[in-house]
Structure 1
Amino acid sequence: MIHSKLLGNKNQKNNIISSENLYKGACVRIKNSNKTFQIIGLNIGKKICWVREWPFACDSKKTFALEISQITLQIFCSKQYSE
């Protein structure tokens, strides 16, 4: 199992995340959002990832593509699930 380090500094708002540190299943924050998202797919060559909101509802399949440059912070996923 791959474990991530918490990246970023609370005093630095415009963190840039390196694509080498990202992996499928990682939880991240993105620009212009206070929500947490989980990476469900990566295309490092095209610098794109696919994400979904975390925690996710089992009946929801809302995913979207995002440029990796839009990721501002990599965080640990909470073990709490939405009901």
Structure 2
Amino acid sequence: MIHSKILDNKNENNNLILSEKLYKGACVKIKNSNKTFQVVGINISKKICWVREWPFACNSKKTFALEISQITLQIFCSNNFSE
């Protein structure tokens, strides 16, 4: 089941610092990537989320699971597709 409730994102190793809560629809950066991704689902109990590249192509449905600890930064989702 996909949870859309807000998640407190705390990392015991202090490797991850997010200024806001993680939520479905948030845009994030992840470790080892310069791309922007959008959170499309969250499983709080398993500490994973599903993301897709942002902006996404209308004909593309490529999502993948990711450990929440792999998120490095939450950012604003720009509507400017030239970025």
TM-score (norm 1): 0.75
Is residue 2:80 matched to residue 1:77?
no
Q: Deviations over 1:35-82 (max 9, x none)?
A: 000000000111000000000000000000000000000000011247
- Aligned 8 A contact 1:17 1:74 in 2: no
Structure 1: distance between partners of 2:68 and 2:17: 8
What are the within-5 Å matches in structure 2 for residues 11-30 of structure 1?
Answer: 15-17=15-17, 21-30=21-30
Q: How many residues align?
A: 68
Contact 1:36 1:54 in 2 (8 A): yes
After TM superposition, the score normalised by the length of structure 2 is 0.75
Over the aligned positions, Cα root-mean-square deviation in angstroms equals 1.9
**Which protein has greater RCO, CA pairs closer than 8 Å, 6+ apart?**
1
**Structure 1 counterpart of 2:63, one-letter code:** T
Separation of aligned partners in 1, 2:33 and 2:76: 17
Which residues of structure 1 form unaligned runs of 5+? 1-13
Structure 2 unaligned runs (5+)?
1-13
